Structures are given as C-alpha cells and as structure tokens.
C-alpha cells in the first residue's frame, strides 16, 4: 500500500471525526412559540402550551441586548464555543 495514501486517508478520517464531535456540542435552540416550565434550580423544560408553563420563546437573537423589549428572561450557551445565539422568553403563565 502506498504510504502517502495511508497518511491522506488517516487525515481525512481524523478531520471527519473531529468535525462530528464539534457539531454535537452546538446548543439546540427552542423554536419560537415553544412553551417552557422554569424549574426551581433555574433550568427550563419544554412543555405543551396547553399544560401549565411559565414562559414562551418569543425570539432567537444574536445577543441578550437584541431580544425584544418584552423579554422577561433569556438563555445563552455557557460556553461561547457552543454557539452565540440567545433564546428570548416572555412570561406566559397558564393556570392548571
């Protein structure tokens, strides 16, 4: 086997492997209109809008400052390498 082909093949395989690992870390954004329930610890869980919930996603923005004026809270990735998008939420309480 040609050693040059082996090196090129290994480099391509390594590039594909590392690229796949990087893609897995990108934050999944909740779509606009998604309802969420905020937990006491501060996390959010997506729930059907017909179920009790505390907030609704109203926009996806480049930064917290770019969220609409009616934004009550926002979330961003803890690691900037996981993306730079901000999810903007507005209080939207539905009683049980």
pLDDT single digits (tens) 3-48: 555 545 444 555 555 554 444 344 467 899 999 998 888 788 999 9
96 confidence band (pLDDT: 50, 70, 90): low
Give the range of the structural domain holding residue 78, as residue numbers without chain letter: 28-91
DSSP 8-state code for residue 64: G
Residue 9 lies in a domain: no
* Token output for 50: 């017909």
In a domain, 68, yes or no: yes
Residues whose CB is less than 8 angstroms from the CB of residue 33 and which lie 6 or more positions away in sequence, other chains included: 49, 56, 57
Q: Does a structural domain hold residue 86? A: yes
Residue 46 lies in a domain: yes
pTM over 0.85: no
Domain presence at residue 40: yes
**Is 61 a member of any domain?**
yes
Q: Is residue 65 part of a domain?
A: yes
Distance CA 74, CA 61 (A): 10
pLDDT at 9: 47
pLDDT one-digit tens code per residue, 36-69:
998 888 788 999 999 999 999 999 999 899 999 9
Q: Is residue 2 situated within a structural domain? A: no
């Amino acid at each position: 086997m040609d050693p040059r082909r082996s090196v090129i093949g290994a480099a391509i395989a390594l590039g594909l492997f590392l690229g796949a690992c990087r893609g897995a870390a990108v934050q999944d954004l909740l779509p606009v209109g998604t309802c969420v329930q905020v937990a006491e610890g501060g996390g959010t869980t997506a729930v059907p809008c017909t179920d009790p919930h505390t907030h609704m996603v109203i926009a996806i923005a480049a930064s917290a400052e770019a969220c609409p004026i009616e934004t009550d809270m926002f979330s961003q990735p803890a690691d900037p390498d996981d993306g730079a998008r901000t999810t903007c939420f507005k209080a939207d309480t539905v009683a049980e």
